[in-house]
Amino acid sequence: MLVVMKANATPEMIEAVVKSVTEMGLSAHPIPGANRTAIGVTGNKTQVHSDRLRVMPGVQDLVHVTEPYKLVGLDFHPERSVIDVAGVKFGGEELVFIGGPCSVEDRDTTLAIARKVRDAGGEVFRGGAFKPRTSPYSFQGYGEDALKTLDAVRSETGLRIVTEAIDPENLRLVAKYADMIQIGARNMQNFSLLREAGKSGKPVLLKRGMSSTVEEFLMAAEYVLSEGNPNVILCERGVRTFAAHTRNTMDLSAIPFVRSKSHLPIIADPSHGTGVRDMVAPLARAAIAVGADGLIVETHINPDQALSDGFQTVGSDVFAQIVDEASRIAPVVGRTVASRKSE
Ligand code: PEP
Ligand code: MN
């Protein structure tokens, strides 16, 4: 870190900062300039706890050099992580496609959707059993019955299962059925849930909060890793902005930015990212082009009948089209698609 002193800071003020830094067990290196002095701080393994320095007389600014996230960052882990979800690998050369309805539906409908996902080249099935809905009067999911339906999907199709946990207690139940636990946008900073997900050791799909910065997003992942669970896959799902033509603004730039800061895989959710059925395929193509490691897409055999989020759910034909288009973009960004290798 660099402590930038004000131009009128006195030698006593500079000396006091040096003393405080030394008391913190770190080394201070004053660098006198033409107008002001900067003090380099070294010896820290994580970001310096700088609150004490910020308020000292003569201090103008603090410039952090070390990232605050040490486990998810690239400083101590420069090689990219490949996360294994029951045999499906995220973050390697191959793109991974997750498809399924917003909420788990009745068994027959859910299985019919799952077969279409598998036939299109999807490898993981999504579907909420416990839904964090904005309104308490909206459909809240079929609960444990839905988890049993997901179990049937896995045994009948071979697809891996990702489904959301909404509180720490419910996470333990979800972990019994799921191959990967989803932590949704509304819970991205539910720290007890993040810690519980960390303790479970299961792969975690962590979605970006709708009003969170990328730094907050990475710090949320840090919670899971700090409990000893390195298996986190990040998901950009759009953020709130003033734009009214979409439900959320899909922050495509977050994808290359996260990849420049973290070794964790990052996938994209163009369904929640747009909230508009006809925009899902275009934004899916864009996400692959900017370097996403895969996609999670809401799809249904009859989107208009979906129990939730039907307006942003694509039909099975469009899901297949998305996989096909992604497989054609893949070579441009140095990726491959497993289901298309033999073609
Ligand atoms: C979902 O995946 O259905 C969901 C609720 O997503 P998000 O948490 O991103 O809103
Ligand atoms: Mn949804």
One digit per residue, pLDDT tens: the chain, 343 residues?
Answer: 999 999 999 999 999 999 999 999 999 999 999 999 999 998 887 777 788 899 999 999 999 888 889 899 998 899 999 999 999 999 999 999 999 999 999 999 999 999 999 999 999 999 999 999 999 999 999 999 999 999 999 999 999 999 999 999 999 999 999 999 999 999 999 999 999 999 999 999 999 999 999 999 999 999 999 999 999 999 999 999 999 999 999 999 999 999 999 999 999 999 999 999 999 999 999 999 999 999 999 999 999 999 999 999 999 999 999 999 999 999 999 999 988 765 5
Residue nearest to atom 3 of ligand 1 (CA): 102
pLDDT at 42: 87
Instruction: Identify which ligand lies nearest to the alpha carbon of 296.
Output: 1
Q: Does residue 224 share a domain with residue 191?
A: yes
What gap in Å lies between CA 94 and CA 119, rounded to an integer? Answer: 17
Q: Which tokens belong to 32?
A: 């006198």
Contact criterion met (CB below 8 Å) for 37 and 9: yes
Q: Does residue 196 share a domain with residue 93?
A: yes
Q: Does residue 118 share a domain with residue 153?
A: yes
Mutating to test ligand 1, I would choose from 98, 102, 250, 297 the residue with most ligand atoms within 8 A of its C-beta, which is 102
The pocket around ligand 1, CB under 6 angstroms, is made up of 102, 128, 184-186, 207, 237, 272
Q: Concatenated DSSP letters for 9-68?
A: --HHHHHHHHHHHHHTT-EEEEEE-SS-EEEEEE--SS----HHHHTSTTEEEEE--S-S
Q: Which protein residues have their CB within 5 A of the ion that is ligand 2?
A: 102, 309
Which residues are bridge partners to 28 per DSSP?
41
**Is 154 a member of any domain?**
yes
pLDDT at 50: 83
pLDDT at 46: 74
CB-based burial label for 321 (10 Å; 0-12, 13-18, 19+): middle
Question: Structural domain tally of the chain?
Answer: 2
Instruction: Identify which ligand lies nearest to the alpha carbon of 248.
Output: 1
Residue nearest to atom 1 of ligand 1 (CA): 102
Q: Does residue 29 share a domain with residue 168?
A: no
Q: Which residue has the tokens 């809905």?
A: 133
Q: Which tokens belong to 205?
A: 């799909």
Cα(194) to centroid(ligand 2), Å = 20
Q: Does residue 186 share a domain with residue 110?
A: yes
Q: Which tokens belong to 113?
A: 């959707």
What gap in Å lies between CA 334 and CA 93, rounded to an integer? Answer: 7
Q: Does residue 56 share a domain with residue 143?
A: no
pLDDT at 89: 98
Q: Where a domain ends, among 19, 35, 63? A: 63
Instruction: Identify which ligand lies nearest to the alpha carbon of 209.
Output: 1
Q: Does residue 44 share a domain with residue 96?
A: no
Strands 266-268 and 232-236, by their bridges, are parallel
Strands 83-85 and 88-90, by their bridges, are antiparallel
**Is 44 a member of any domain?**
yes
Of ligand 1's atoms, which has the minimum distance to the CA of residue 128? 3
Cα(164) to centroid(ligand 1), Å = 8
The dihedral through the CA atoms of 154, 157, 161, 163 has a sign that is negative
Q: Which tokens belong to 171?
A: 């996470």
- Gyration radius of the chain's alpha carbons: 23
Of ligand 1's atoms, which has the minimum distance to the CA of residue 187? 8
Query: H/E element holding 193?
Result: helix 191-200
Q: What residues contact residue 135 under an 8 Å CB cut-off, 6+ apart?
A: none
Q: Does residue 122 share a domain with residue 35?
A: no
Of ligand 1's atoms, which has the minimum distance to the CA of residue 296? 2
What gap in Å lies between CA 202 and CA 294, rounded to an integer? Answer: 19
Mutating to test ligand 1, I would choose from 233, 239, 272 the residue with most ligand atoms within 8 A of its C-beta, which is 272
Which residues span the domain enclosing 239?
A: 83-340
Count of other CB atoms within 10 angstroms of residue 47:
14
**Is 316 a member of any domain?**
yes
What gap in Å lies between CA 53 and CA 22, rounded to an integer? Answer: 12
Q: Does residue 138 share a domain with residue 266?
A: yes
**Is 72 a member of any domain?**
no
Residue nearest to atom 5 of ligand 1 (CA): 184
pLDDT at 342: 53
**Is 100 a member of any domain?**
yes
Q: Does residue 167 share a domain with residue 29?
A: no
**Is 334 a member of any domain?**
yes
Stated pTM of the model: 0.92
Q: Where a domain ends, among 33, 63, 93? A: 63
What gap in Å lies between CA 272 and CA 313, rounded to an integer? Answer: 9
Q: Does residue 97 share a domain with residue 29?
A: no
The CATH number of whichever domain residue 288 belongs to comes to 3.20.20.70
**Is 70 a member of any domain?**
no
Q: Does residue 240 share a domain with residue 207?
A: yes
CA neighbor of 113 nearest in space, from 100, 94, 129, 103 = 100
pLDDT at 339: 84
Q: Which tokens belong to 115?
A: 């077969």
The CATH number of whichever domain residue 6 belongs to comes to 3.30.70.1140
